[in-house]
């Protein structure tokens, strides 16, 4: 530090700071500081995710995080769970295999808009269709950051990107609408500014059984903000503050985002539907009876699990009806 | 039982209980058999949205603790290439069968070929090594699938069964021995203290023990160049360590991995080197040549990759010619020419796929080789 | 409902100036204005925040959550 005496609240001893940090048990502190740019929103999302896990009391040994490629793809490397940094677009199928191989895991995919909606778009819609029991956090910064600011399927029309140097002429996906239409059973959206709400929603999504999709709008200062002359990270946060409109339960057909336009936020969808694995088990127990087993579990054991699930699902249904959207 | 079904039975016998697949001719029967048998034996089959998703889900399932297999053909094999690189980089044990059909592109979907022999070795970008086995009968489809699982677990590498449409759809008797007579190598699970666990050990000889997600090790793994903790380490030095290890753990054990079958090589003037269905056609040509008084031997490659370099080098010193029939425009023959290094003639009996050889073509090549 | 008996919460802020990249999120969105940007530079040339008024921190931990660098945290002060 130059120019001033260290203030009393400063912890300039990195080792001590790592150890004292309340997230020390959840982040790979030895890898900090991370690679993301000043004002990038990814770190915020990671903190909120970790806070949600802390609050949920979930056994952190049973959580696995899978990322694809890109800036958000690096999340897996910084969280202290079983974590997998896979190939471009393939986080969801990797997570599908992981979850099905070891159903006691809570598998969370954290990746970006380019990774999940462009190259991985097919996997996104099919995992949603199957109601695969995954939680997917899509950090949407409207651009490919790692490769230098190219246009993505979520870049708003007219926004500038390095591969649409005169402005984007394509129509973007509205990701909550896409997820909802594909069959996701939990769909929400927040921005990097809405840290408390995001944390709460992550907590709910962790408890949700089935395909949960949470889009988080986050600033890319180095590319999206700069190319579009939108200022720095704080300017992005101000935009979120000014243009955000919390609309829990909103019809996902109405939540598209135009260039610097309004952003509808909240939990749009929460419904109960059998997950892929529940459907497999229920179906086979019905048609094959006692001869059915999964990974050595007897039909009686699976049956017991199914009853427990039905009980939980009924209470959950009541809870959804009772509280509605309450973030 | 046909070869495709034997692949599925071999996988089940080896303890494979997870199969993510996508239908493609002529390999679909394997997926169908697995889907049928899964619920009875405690396994799970999932038909994914495409081959990329299938192979990636399989890699994920390995890290979730399962033994996995998938099966595909030409176009699907091409789609899987990127993930084979990921599997090699993450040192993921898995088995993939390619029931080869004629290409390029959609080609002749229902007809036989051996055109993916170089693709399996070089198809994903970067330097790495895989193991590839080639069965010549439904019985070998069963046996080699079990062996493929064992090799995959020992070396933590994807192992390929490069069969073809003819063997895949050929019905023959397949003997499935009692479970206690089948040698199965289980995964080398890590047993030491949690804090000391390292997913990788770049020693160039053996693969590090594995753990599975959910066991509390909270490990990381990535397709990026990584250190022994699995953390990204993006330097040329680190890449050298990783790549050298990926290659050497196979090359230094090549003698243990490679299996061949030979017949009448001692004193032969000509040796037919072949694999898979081509070797069965070659048998007839060899018999005809022997009847005609030509001293001809046969070398059948059961393991094609890693390649039996020393064997071919020694062979080339002692014979006039090596005849190489294969159902492609000349792929493995290139490797044989490299090893022979001009010490004997190497005659390629190639084909553009679609049909197996006429034994006469191979016989003509044997005669040509013997007459010089 | 009576709020009279509720105790005011206090937090103690710890900042790692070495990891800070000076985005200013914590300062701008602190609901009680407890932080400000300092004039000091860290090794990377960014201005890290400093605590302007420690007594104003209500332990809401918003700065901790919104900080993209994991460079600030708040512990509950049991005064």
Distance (Å, whole) CA A246 – CA A224: 24
Contact check, Cβ <8 Å, B57/A94: yes
Touch between A and C (at least 3 CB pairs under 8 Å): yes
Which B residues, 4 through 23, put their C-beta within 8 Å of a C-beta on chain A?
A: 17-18, 20
Residue with tokens 């796929």: B353
Contact check, Cβ <8 Å, C13/A234: no
Q: What percent of chain A has pLDDT over 70?
A: 96
Name the domain boundary from B257, B275, B306.
Answer: B257
The enclosing domain of C36 has a CATH number of: 3.30.70.20
Chains touching chain C through at least 3 C-beta pairs below 8 angstroms are A
Q: For B14-173, where are the alpha helices, taking DSSP H only?
A: 28-41, 51-63, 74-89, 117-122, 138-155, 165-168
B218 touches chain A (CB under 8 A): yes
Distance (Å, whole) CA A277 – CA B368: 61
Distance (Å, whole) CA B84 – CA B94: 10
Looking at beta carbons, which residues of chain A come within 8 Å of C49?
none
Secondary structure (DSSP) of A137-198: EEEE-SSBTTTTSB--TTSPTT--BTTBTT---SPPP-HHHHHHHHT-SEEEEEETT-HHHH
In a domain, C37, yes or no: yes
Q: Tell me how close the Cα of C72 comes to any Cα of chain A, in angstroms.
A: 8
Q: What are phi and psi of A243, to 5 degrees?
A: -105, 0
B231 touches chain A (CB under 8 A): yes
Question: Chain A interface residues facing chain C, Cβ-Cβ under 8 Å?
Answer: 1-4, 6-12, 14, 17, 20-23, 27, 29, 32-34, 36-44, 46-48, 51, 192-193, 195-196, 199, 221, 232-234, 237
Distance (Å, whole) CA A294 – CA A284: 10
Residues B171 and B281 reside in one and the same domain: no
Q: Which of A16, A50, A195, A197 to probe the C interface (max C CBs under 10 A)?
A: A195
Looking at beta carbons, which residues of chain A come within 8 Å of B59?
86, 94, 97
The reported pLDDT for the residue numbered C2 is: 65
Residues B178 and B225 reside in one and the same domain: yes
pLDDT exceeds cutoff 70 at A321 = no
Which B residues, 59 through 78, put their C-beta within 8 Å of a C-beta on chain A?
A: 59-66, 68
pLDDT in tens, A214-270: 999 999 999 999 999 999 999 999 999 999 999 999 999 999 999 999 999 999 999
In a domain, C67, yes or no: yes
In a domain, C17, yes or no: yes
In a domain, C54, yes or no: yes
B47 touches chain A (CB under 8 A): no
Contact check, Cβ <8 Å, B49/A66: no
Looking at beta carbons, which residues of chain B come within 8 Å of A28?
220, 231
- Locate the chain C residue with the closest alpha carbon to A191: C66
Report DSSP state, residue B210: B
Residues of chain B with pLDDT under 70: 372
Residues B198 and B294 reside in one and the same domain: no
Report DSSP state, residue A221: I
Among candidates C16, C54, C65 on the partner chain, residue whose Cβ is nearest the Cβ of A195: C65
Q: Which of A62, A98, A101 to probe the B interface (max B CBs under 10 A)?
A: A101
Looking at beta carbons, which residues of chain B come within 8 Å of A295?
17, 42-44
Q: Which of C66, C67, C75 to probe the A interface (max A CBs under 10 A)?
A: C66
Q: Which of B114, B54, B115 is nearest to B87 (CA)?
A: B54
> What residue ranges do the domains of chain A occupy?
14-270, 276-323
Q: How many CB atoms lie within 10 A of CB C12?
A: 16
pLDDT exceeds cutoff 90 at A154 = yes
Domain residues for B35? 1-257
The reported pLDDT for the residue numbered B55 is: 98
The helices-and-strands tally (H runs, E runs) of chain C is 2, 4
Contact check, Cβ <8 Å, A42/C23: no
How many domains are contained in chain B? Answer: 2
3-state secondary structure of B120: helix
Looking at beta carbons, which residues of chain B come within 8 Å of A32?
none
Cis, peptide link before residue B326, omega less than 30° from 0: no
Q: Tell me how close the Cα of C63 comes to any Cα of chain A, in angstroms.
A: 9
Question: Sheet holding A263-270: strands in order across?
Answer: A244-246, A263-270, A186-191, A212-217, A134-140, A106-112, A63-67, A82-85, B220-222
**Angle CA A302–A306–A311, to nearest 5:** 150
Name the domain boundary from B200, B225, B257.
Answer: B257
pLDDT exceeds cutoff 60 at A4 = no
> Strand (E) positions, A11-168?
63-67, 82-85, 106-112, 134-140
Contact check, Cβ <8 Å, B64/A126: no
Q: How many CB atoms lie within 10 A of CB A257?
A: 21
B124 touches chain A (CB under 8 A): no
Looking at beta carbons, which residues of chain B come within 8 Å of A66?
60
Residue with tokens 């709910």: A204
Looking at beta carbons, which residues of chain C come within 8 Å of A194?
none
Q: Tell me how close the Cα of A259 comes to any Cα of chain B, in angstroms.
A: 33
Name the domain boundary from B257, B281, B297.
Answer: B257
Residues B165 and B211 reside in one and the same domain: yes
Looking at beta carbons, which residues of chain A come within 8 Å of C75?
22
Report DSSP state, residue A10: B
The reported pLDDT for the residue numbered A1 is: 59
pLDDT exceeds cutoff 80 at A56 = yes
The reported pLDDT for the residue numbered A324 is: 53
The reported pLDDT for the residue numbered A287 is: 93
Contact check, Cβ <8 Å, A195/C66: yes
**Mean of the pLDDT values across residues A181-189?**
98
Say if residue A290 is exposed, middle or buried (CB neighbours under 10 Å; 0-12, 13-18, 19+): exposed
Is 0.95 exceeded by the ipTM? yes
Domain residues for C46? 10-77
Q: Tell me how close the Cα of A319 comes to any Cα of chain B, in angstroms.
A: 29
Q: Which of A42, A8, A10 is nearest to A27 (CA)?
A: A42
Q: Tell me how close the Cα of B330 comes to any Cα of chain A, in angstroms.
A: 32
Q: How many CB atoms lie within 10 A of CB A289?
A: 9
In a domain, C4, yes or no: no
Residues B237 and B317 reside in one and the same domain: no
Q: Tell me how close the Cα of B14 comes to any Cα of chain A, in angstroms.
A: 14
The reported pLDDT for the residue numbered B70 is: 97
Q: Which of B223, B219, B243, B240 is nearest to B232 (CA)?
A: B223
pLDDT in tens, B188-213: 999 999 999 999 999 999 999 999 99
pLDDT exceeds cutoff 60 at A3 = no
Q: Tell me how close the Cα of A49 comes to any Cα of chain C, in angstroms.
A: 9
3-state secondary structure of B343: coil
Q: Which residue has the higher pLDDT, C4 or B294?
A: B294
How many domains are contained in chain C? Answer: 1
Size of interface A-C (CB pairs under 8 A): 116
Among candidates A60, A93, A101 on the partner chain, residue whose Cβ is nearest the Cβ of B53: A93
In a domain, C5, yes or no: no
Touch between B and C (at least 3 CB pairs under 8 Å): no
- Locate the chain C residue with the closest alpha carbon to A234: C25
Q: Which of B215, B114, B202 is nearest to B163 (CA)?
A: B114
Secondary structure (DSSP) of B27-40: THHHHHHHHHHHHH
Residues in CB range of A15: below 8 A, 6 or more apart: none
CATH fit for domain A14-270, picks 1.10.10.60, 1.10.10.10, 1.10.287.110, 3.40.50.970: 3.40.50.970
What mean pLDDT is reported for chain A?
Answer: 94
pLDDT exceeds cutoff 60 at A2 = no
Among candidates B40, B57, B85 on the partner chain, residue whose Cβ is nearest the Cβ of A96: B57
**Mean of the pLDDT values across residues A46-72?**
96
B261 touches chain A (CB under 8 A): no
Residues B88 and B14 reside in one and the same domain: yes
Please check whether residue B200 is in contact with residue B225, taking contact to mean a CB–CB distance below 8 angstroms. no
Report DSSP state, residue B194: G
Q: Tell me how close the Cα of A47 comes to any Cα of chain B, in angstroms.
A: 18
Among candidates B82, B85, B218 on the partner chain, residue whose Cβ is nearest the Cβ of A81: B218
Among candidates A22, A40, A44 on the partner chain, residue whose Cβ is nearest the Cβ of C73: A22
Residues B248 and B304 reside in one and the same domain: no
């Amino acid at each position: 530090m130059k120019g001033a005496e260290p203030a009393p609240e400063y912890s300039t001893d990195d080792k001590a700071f790592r150890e004292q940090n309340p997230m020390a048990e959840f982040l790979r502190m030895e890898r900090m500081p991370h690679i993301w740019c000043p004002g990038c929103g990814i770190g915020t999302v990671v903190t909120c995710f970790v806070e949600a896990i802390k609050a949920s009391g979930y056994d952190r040994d049973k959580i696995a995080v899978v990322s694809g490629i890109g800036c958000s793809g690096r999340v897996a490397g910084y969280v202290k769970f079983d974590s997998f940094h896979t190939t471009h677009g393939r986080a969801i199928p990797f997570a599908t295999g992981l979850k099905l191989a070891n159903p006691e895991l809570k598998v969370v995919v954290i990746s970006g808009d380019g990774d999940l909606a462009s190259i991985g778009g097919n996997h996104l819609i099919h995992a949603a269709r199957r109601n695969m029991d995954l939680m997917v956090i899509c950090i949407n910064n409207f651009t490919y950051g790692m490769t230098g600011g190219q246009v993505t399927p979520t870049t708003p029309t007219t926004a500038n990107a390095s591969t649409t140097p005169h402005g984007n002429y394509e129509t973007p996906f509205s990701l909550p609408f896409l997820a909802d239409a594909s069959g996701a059973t939990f769909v929400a959206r927040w921005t990097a500014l809405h840290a408390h709400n995001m944390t709460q929603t992550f907590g709910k999504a962790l408890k949700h059984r089935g395909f949960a999709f949470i889009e988080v709008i986050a600033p890319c200062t180095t590319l999206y903000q700069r190319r579009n002359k939108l200022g720095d990270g704080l300017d992005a946060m101000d935009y979120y503050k000014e243009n955000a409109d919390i609309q829990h339960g909103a019809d996902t057909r109405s939540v598209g985002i135009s260039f610097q336009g309004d952003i509808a936020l909240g939990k749009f969808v929460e419904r109960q539907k059998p997950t892929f694995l529940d459907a497999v088990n229920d179906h086979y127990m019905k048609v094959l009876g006692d001869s059915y087993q999964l990974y050595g579990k007897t039909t009686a054991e699976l049956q017991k699990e199914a009853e427990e699930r039905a009980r939980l699902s009924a209470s959950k249904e009541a809870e959804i009806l009772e509280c509605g959207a309450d973030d | 039982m046909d070869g495709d079904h034997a692949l599925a039975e071999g996988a089940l016998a080896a303890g494979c209980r997870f199969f993510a697949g996508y239908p493609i001719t002529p390999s679909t029967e394997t997926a169908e058999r697995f889907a049928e048998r899964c619920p009875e034996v405690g396994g799970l089959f999932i038909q994914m949205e495409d081959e990329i998703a299938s192979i990636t889900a399989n890699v994920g399932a390995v890290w979730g603790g399962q033994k996995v297999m998938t099966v595909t053909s030409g176009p699907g094999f091409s789609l899987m290439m990127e993930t084979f690189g990921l599997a090699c980089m993450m040192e993921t044990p898995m088995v993939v069968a390619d029931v080869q059909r004629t290409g390029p592109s959609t080609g002749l979907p229902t007809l036989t070929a051996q055109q993916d022999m170089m693709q399996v070795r070089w198809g994903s970008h970067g330097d790495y090594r895989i193991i590839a086995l080639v069965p010549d009968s439904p019985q070998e489809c069963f046996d080699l699938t079990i062996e493929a699982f064992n090799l995959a677990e020992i070396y933590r590498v994807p192992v390929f069964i490069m069969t073809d449409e003819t063997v895949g759809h050929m019905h023959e008797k397949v003997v499935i021995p009692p479970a206690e007579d089948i040698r199965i190598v289980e995964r080398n699970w890590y047993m030491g203290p949690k804090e000391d666990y390292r997913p990788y050990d770049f020693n160039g000889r053996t693969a590090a023990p594995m753990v599975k997600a959910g066991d509390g090790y909270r490990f990381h793994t990535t397709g990026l160049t990584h250190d022994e903790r699995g953390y990204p380490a993006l330097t040329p030095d680190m890449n050298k360590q990783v790549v050298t290890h990926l290659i050497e753990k196979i090359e230094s054990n090549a003698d243990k991995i490679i299996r061949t079958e030979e017949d009448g090589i001692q004193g032969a003037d000509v040796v037919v080197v072949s694999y898979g269905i081509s070797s069965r056609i070659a048998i007839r040509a060899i018999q005809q040549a022997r009847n005609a008084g030509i001293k001809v031997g046969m070398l059948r490659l059961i393991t094609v990759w890693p390649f039996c370099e020393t064997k071919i080098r020694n062979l080339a010193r002692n014979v006039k010619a090596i005849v190489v029939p294969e159902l492609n425009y000349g792929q493995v023959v290139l490797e044989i020419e490299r090893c022979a290094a001009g010490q004997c003639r190497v005659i390629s009996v190639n084909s553009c796929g679609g049909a197996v050889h006429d034994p006469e073509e191979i016989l003509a090549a044997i005669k040509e080789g013997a007459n010089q | 409902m009576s709020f009279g008996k509720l105790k005011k919460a206090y937090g103690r802020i710890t900042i790692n100036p070495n990891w800070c990249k000076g985005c200013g999120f914590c300062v701008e969105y602190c609901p009680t204005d407890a932080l400000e940007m300092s004039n000091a530079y860290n090794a990377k040339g960014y201005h890290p925040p400093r605590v302007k008024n420690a007594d104003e921190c209500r332990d809401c931990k918003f700065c901790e959550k919104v900080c993209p660098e994991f460079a600030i945290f708040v512990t509950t002060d049991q005064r």
